[in-house]
Structure 1
Protein backbone atom coordinates (compact mmCIF):
# COMPACT_ATOMS: atom_id res chain seq x y z
CA UNK A 1 0.00 0.00 0.00
CA UNK A 2 1.35 3.38 -0.98
CA UNK A 3 -0.88 5.63 1.04
CA UNK A 4 -4.30 6.29 2.51
CA UNK A 5 -6.76 9.00 1.72
CA UNK A 6 -9.19 10.29 4.21
CA UNK A 7 -12.77 11.05 3.23
CA UNK A 8 -12.12 14.79 3.31
CA UNK A 9 -9.20 14.50 0.92
CA UNK A 10 -11.16 12.21 -1.43
CA UNK A 11 -13.98 14.77 -1.61
CA UNK A 12 -11.51 17.52 -2.53
CA UNK A 13 -10.07 15.43 -5.34
CA UNK A 14 -13.44 14.64 -6.85
CA UNK A 15 -14.40 18.35 -6.82
CA UNK A 16 -11.10 19.26 -8.47
CA UNK A 17 -11.66 16.60 -11.13
CA UNK A 18 -15.14 17.94 -11.85
CA UNK A 19 -13.87 21.51 -12.20
CA UNK A 20 -11.16 20.44 -14.62
CA UNK A 21 -13.55 18.41 -16.78
CA UNK A 22 -15.66 21.51 -17.55
CA UNK A 23 -12.69 23.24 -19.19
CA UNK A 24 -12.11 22.38 -22.85
CA UNK A 25 -9.05 20.36 -23.66
CA UNK A 26 -6.42 21.76 -26.03
CA UNK A 27 -7.69 19.46 -28.78
CA UNK A 28 -11.23 20.81 -28.31
CA UNK A 29 -9.92 24.38 -28.47
CA UNK A 30 -8.07 23.59 -31.69
CA UNK A 31 -11.15 22.07 -33.36
CA UNK A 32 -13.41 24.94 -32.32
CA UNK A 33 -10.84 27.47 -33.59
CA UNK A 34 -10.76 25.71 -36.95
CA UNK A 35 -14.55 25.62 -37.18
CA UNK A 36 -14.93 29.28 -36.22
CA UNK A 37 -12.13 30.65 -38.36
CA UNK A 38 -12.81 31.99 -41.82
CA UNK A 39 -9.91 31.45 -44.15
CA UNK A 40 -8.76 34.43 -46.12
CA UNK A 41 -6.48 34.32 -49.13
CA UNK A 42 -3.34 34.47 -46.94
CA UNK A 43 -4.26 31.20 -45.19
CA UNK A 44 -4.07 29.23 -48.43
CA UNK A 45 -1.07 27.89 -50.25
CA UNK A 46 0.51 29.68 -53.20
CA UNK A 47 -1.19 27.47 -55.81
CA UNK A 48 -4.63 28.22 -54.37
CA UNK A 49 -3.88 31.96 -54.12
CA UNK A 50 -2.74 31.95 -57.76
CA UNK A 51 -5.91 30.18 -58.92
CA UNK A 52 -8.07 32.61 -56.94
CA UNK A 53 -6.26 35.58 -58.47
CA UNK A 54 -6.31 34.21 -62.04
CA UNK A 55 -10.03 33.53 -61.99
CA UNK A 56 -10.95 36.56 -59.86
CA UNK A 57 -12.63 34.46 -57.17
CA UNK A 58 -13.26 35.34 -53.53
CA UNK A 59 -12.08 32.68 -51.07
CA UNK A 60 -14.84 33.61 -48.61
CA UNK A 61 -17.52 32.73 -51.19
CA UNK A 62 -16.22 29.17 -51.72
CA UNK A 63 -16.90 26.32 -49.29
CA UNK A 64 -13.66 24.46 -48.65
CA UNK A 65 -13.60 20.68 -48.47
CA UNK A 66 -10.04 20.30 -47.23
CA UNK A 67 -8.75 19.80 -43.70
CA UNK A 68 -10.37 22.35 -41.42
CA UNK A 69 -12.47 23.81 -44.23
CA UNK A 70 -9.47 24.88 -46.30
CA UNK A 71 -9.82 25.33 -50.03
CA UNK A 72 -8.45 22.68 -52.34
CA UNK A 73 -7.73 22.77 -56.04
CA UNK A 74 -10.89 20.73 -56.67
CA UNK A 75 -13.00 23.30 -54.79
CA UNK A 76 -11.68 26.09 -57.01
CA UNK A 77 -12.12 24.05 -60.20
CA UNK A 78 -15.70 23.18 -59.19
CA UNK A 79 -16.46 26.88 -58.61
CA UNK A 80 -14.91 27.80 -61.98
CA UNK A 81 -17.03 25.15 -63.70
CA UNK A 82 -20.19 26.52 -62.02
CA UNK A 83 -19.34 30.06 -63.07
CA UNK A 84 -18.57 29.00 -66.65
CA UNK A 85 -21.85 27.06 -66.88
CA UNK A 86 -23.80 30.12 -65.73
CA UNK A 87 -22.00 32.33 -68.25
CA UNK A 88 -22.67 29.82 -71.03
CA UNK A 89 -26.40 29.77 -70.23
CA UNK A 90 -26.53 33.56 -70.29
CA UNK A 91 -24.52 33.69 -73.52
CA UNK A 92 -26.78 31.15 -75.26
CA UNK A 93 -29.88 33.13 -74.28
CA UNK A 94 -28.28 36.35 -75.55
CA UNK A 95 -27.20 34.70 -78.82
CA UNK A 96 -30.70 33.33 -79.45
CA UNK A 97 -32.17 36.79 -79.02
CA UNK A 98 -29.53 38.25 -81.34
CA UNK A 99 -30.04 35.57 -84.00
CA UNK A 100 -33.80 36.08 -84.10
CA UNK A 101 -33.31 39.84 -84.38
CA UNK A 102 -30.73 39.49 -87.15
CA UNK A 103 -32.89 36.98 -89.04
CA UNK A 104 -35.84 39.35 -88.90
CA UNK A 105 -33.76 42.29 -90.06
CA UNK A 106 -32.13 40.35 -92.91
CA UNK A 107 -35.48 39.45 -94.49
CA UNK A 108 -35.67 42.68 -96.39
CA UNK A 109 -34.35 42.11 -99.89
CA UNK A 110 -32.24 44.44 -101.89
CA UNK A 111 -32.11 43.86 -105.61
CA UNK A 112 -28.75 44.31 -107.22
CA UNK A 113 -28.43 44.41 -111.02
CA UNK A 114 -26.77 41.28 -112.44
CA UNK A 115 -23.52 41.44 -114.27
CA UNK A 116 -23.53 40.23 -117.86
CA UNK A 117 -21.75 37.03 -116.90
CA UNK A 118 -24.22 36.13 -114.15
CA UNK A 119 -27.13 36.97 -116.43
CA UNK A 120 -25.78 34.64 -119.11
CA UNK A 121 -25.26 31.83 -116.58
CA UNK A 122 -28.85 32.21 -115.36
CA UNK A 123 -30.17 32.04 -118.94
CA UNK A 124 -28.22 28.85 -119.67
CA UNK A 125 -29.37 27.18 -116.46
CA UNK A 126 -32.97 28.01 -117.27
CA UNK A 127 -32.57 26.64 -120.82
CA UNK A 128 -31.09 23.39 -119.49
CA UNK A 129 -33.89 23.00 -117.00
CA UNK A 130 -36.67 23.54 -119.51
CA UNK A 131 -34.96 21.37 -122.12
CA UNK A 132 -34.70 18.51 -119.68
CA UNK A 133 -38.39 18.77 -118.77
CA UNK A 134 -39.45 18.73 -122.42
CA UNK A 135 -37.17 15.93 -123.61
CA UNK A 136 -39.18 12.94 -124.87
CA UNK A 137 -36.75 10.34 -123.52
CA UNK A 138 -37.16 11.75 -119.94
CA UNK A 139 -40.96 11.77 -120.05
CA UNK A 140 -41.34 8.00 -119.78
Structure 2
Protein backbone atom coordinates (compact mmCIF):
# COMPACT_ATOMS: atom_id res chain seq x y z
CA UNK A 1 0.00 0.00 0.00
CA UNK A 2 1.37 3.40 -0.96
CA UNK A 3 1.64 6.17 1.61
CA UNK A 4 1.01 9.46 -0.19
CA UNK A 5 1.99 12.70 1.53
CA UNK A 6 2.67 16.31 0.69
CA UNK A 7 6.25 17.57 0.65
CA UNK A 8 5.43 19.85 3.59
CA UNK A 9 4.82 16.76 5.74
CA UNK A 10 8.12 14.96 5.01
CA UNK A 11 9.89 16.42 8.08
CA UNK A 12 7.55 14.51 10.40
CA UNK A 13 8.04 11.05 8.86
CA UNK A 14 10.77 9.73 11.22
CA UNK A 15 9.58 6.50 12.82
CA UNK A 16 6.89 5.87 10.20
CA UNK A 17 6.35 2.21 9.32
CA UNK A 18 5.41 2.13 5.64
CA UNK A 19 4.31 -1.51 5.76
CA UNK A 20 4.95 -3.95 2.93
CA UNK A 21 4.79 -3.98 -0.84
CA UNK A 22 2.93 -6.55 -2.90
CA UNK A 23 4.69 -9.84 -3.54
CA UNK A 24 6.84 -10.16 -6.67
CA UNK A 25 7.88 -13.49 -8.20
CA UNK A 26 11.56 -14.00 -8.91
CA UNK A 27 11.46 -15.55 -12.39
CA UNK A 28 14.27 -17.20 -14.32
CA UNK A 29 13.70 -14.65 -17.06
CA UNK A 30 14.36 -11.79 -14.60
CA UNK A 31 17.53 -13.53 -13.38
CA UNK A 32 18.76 -14.12 -16.94
CA UNK A 33 18.07 -10.51 -17.92
CA UNK A 34 20.04 -9.30 -14.90
CA UNK A 35 22.88 -11.68 -15.80
CA UNK A 36 22.96 -10.23 -19.32
CA UNK A 37 22.93 -6.66 -18.01
CA UNK A 38 25.78 -7.26 -15.53
CA UNK A 39 27.79 -9.95 -17.30
CA UNK A 40 27.41 -12.24 -14.25
CA UNK A 41 26.44 -15.57 -15.83
CA UNK A 42 27.51 -17.79 -12.94
CA UNK A 43 25.79 -21.17 -13.21
CA UNK A 44 24.08 -20.93 -9.82
CA UNK A 45 21.96 -18.18 -11.39
CA UNK A 46 21.50 -19.09 -15.05
CA UNK A 47 21.83 -22.88 -15.39
CA UNK A 48 18.75 -24.46 -13.77
CA UNK A 49 19.88 -28.03 -14.46
CA UNK A 50 23.35 -27.62 -12.99
CA UNK A 51 21.99 -25.51 -10.10
CA UNK A 52 19.85 -28.47 -8.98
CA UNK A 53 23.03 -30.19 -7.82
CA UNK A 54 24.56 -26.99 -6.43
CA UNK A 55 24.64 -25.71 -2.87
CA UNK A 56 21.11 -24.27 -3.00
CA UNK A 57 19.34 -27.09 -4.89
CA UNK A 58 17.96 -24.68 -7.47
CA UNK A 59 18.99 -21.53 -9.34
CA UNK A 60 19.07 -18.42 -7.17
CA UNK A 61 18.77 -14.73 -7.92
CA UNK A 62 21.86 -12.57 -7.77
CA UNK A 63 22.07 -10.73 -4.45
CA UNK A 64 22.39 -7.45 -6.29
CA UNK A 65 19.31 -8.26 -8.36
CA UNK A 66 17.30 -8.73 -5.18
CA UNK A 67 18.74 -5.50 -3.76
CA UNK A 68 17.92 -3.62 -6.98
CA UNK A 69 14.25 -4.43 -6.46
CA UNK A 70 14.33 -1.96 -3.57
CA UNK A 71 14.02 0.80 -6.18
CA UNK A 72 10.75 -0.61 -7.53
CA UNK A 73 9.50 -1.52 -4.08
CA UNK A 74 10.34 1.91 -2.63
CA UNK A 75 8.15 3.69 -5.18
CA UNK A 76 5.34 1.33 -4.21
CA UNK A 77 5.62 2.35 -0.54
CA UNK A 78 5.96 6.15 -0.57
CA UNK A 79 4.80 8.89 -2.89
CA UNK A 80 5.65 12.50 -2.04
CA UNK A 81 3.65 15.17 -3.84
CA UNK A 82 5.10 18.60 -4.57
CA UNK A 83 8.71 17.63 -5.20
CA UNK A 84 10.79 18.56 -8.23
CA UNK A 85 13.33 15.76 -7.89
CA UNK A 86 13.55 12.38 -6.14
CA UNK A 87 17.02 10.86 -5.79
CA UNK A 88 18.21 7.44 -4.66
CA UNK A 89 21.21 8.76 -2.70
CA UNK A 90 22.76 5.43 -1.72
CA UNK A 91 23.05 2.84 1.01
CA UNK A 92 24.66 2.89 4.43
CA UNK A 93 24.56 -0.85 5.04
CA UNK A 94 23.53 -3.94 3.09
CA UNK A 95 23.48 -7.61 4.03
CA UNK A 96 22.48 -10.52 1.80
CA UNK A 97 21.01 -12.77 4.49
CA UNK A 98 19.38 -15.56 2.46
CA UNK A 99 19.43 -16.59 -1.21
CA UNK A 100 16.26 -16.14 -3.25
CA UNK A 101 15.41 -19.27 -5.25
CA UNK A 102 13.94 -18.77 -8.71
CA UNK A 103 10.18 -19.10 -8.35
CA UNK A 104 10.10 -17.59 -4.84
CA UNK A 105 8.11 -14.48 -4.07
CA UNK A 106 9.70 -11.44 -2.43
CA UNK A 107 8.39 -8.20 -0.96
CA UNK A 108 9.84 -5.27 0.95
CA UNK A 109 8.93 -3.66 4.22
CA UNK A 110 10.30 -0.27 5.20
CA UNK A 111 10.52 1.97 8.25
CA UNK A 112 11.73 5.56 8.00
CA UNK A 113 14.47 5.75 10.64
CA UNK A 114 15.49 9.38 10.21
CA UNK A 115 14.60 12.53 8.32
CA UNK A 116 17.36 15.11 7.86
CA UNK A 117 16.99 18.54 6.32
CA UNK A 118 19.49 19.12 3.50
CA UNK A 119 20.07 22.06 1.16
CA UNK A 120 16.86 22.33 -0.86
CA UNK A 121 15.12 19.33 0.60
CA UNK A 122 15.12 16.33 2.90
CA UNK A 123 17.04 13.09 3.18
CA UNK A 124 15.22 10.01 4.45
CA UNK A 125 17.16 7.16 6.03
CA UNK A 126 15.07 4.03 5.56
CA UNK A 127 15.46 0.58 7.09
CA UNK A 128 14.41 -1.85 4.36
CA UNK A 129 13.87 -5.58 4.58
CA UNK A 130 13.27 -7.71 1.50
CA UNK A 131 11.69 -10.94 2.64
CA UNK A 132 11.04 -14.26 0.96
CA UNK A 133 7.53 -15.71 1.20
CA UNK A 134 7.58 -18.53 3.76
CA UNK A 135 11.27 -18.16 4.68
CA UNK A 136 12.51 -17.81 8.25
CA UNK A 137 15.13 -15.19 7.33
CA UNK A 138 14.96 -12.23 4.95
CA UNK A 139 16.79 -12.08 1.65
CA UNK A 140 18.23 -8.59 2.13
CA UNK A 141 18.40 -6.01 4.89
CA UNK A 142 19.55 -2.55 3.90
CA UNK A 143 19.58 1.03 5.10
CA UNK A 144 18.68 3.19 2.12
CA UNK A 145 19.09 6.93 1.66
CA UNK A 146 16.58 8.87 -0.41
CA UNK A 147 16.44 12.58 -1.13
CA UNK A 148 13.45 14.72 -1.99
CA UNK A 149 13.89 18.25 -3.33
CA UNK A 150 11.21 20.93 -3.53
Which TM-score tier does this pair reach, normalised by the shorter chain? under 0.3
Which of the pair is proportionally richer in helix?
A: 1
Could you state the TM-score of these two structures normalised by the residue count of structure 2?
A: 0.23
Higher relative contact order (CA 8 A, sep 6+): 2
Could you state the TM-score of these two structures normalised by the residue count of structure 1?
A: 0.24
**Structure with larger Rg:** 1
Which of the pair is proportionally richer in strand?
A: 2
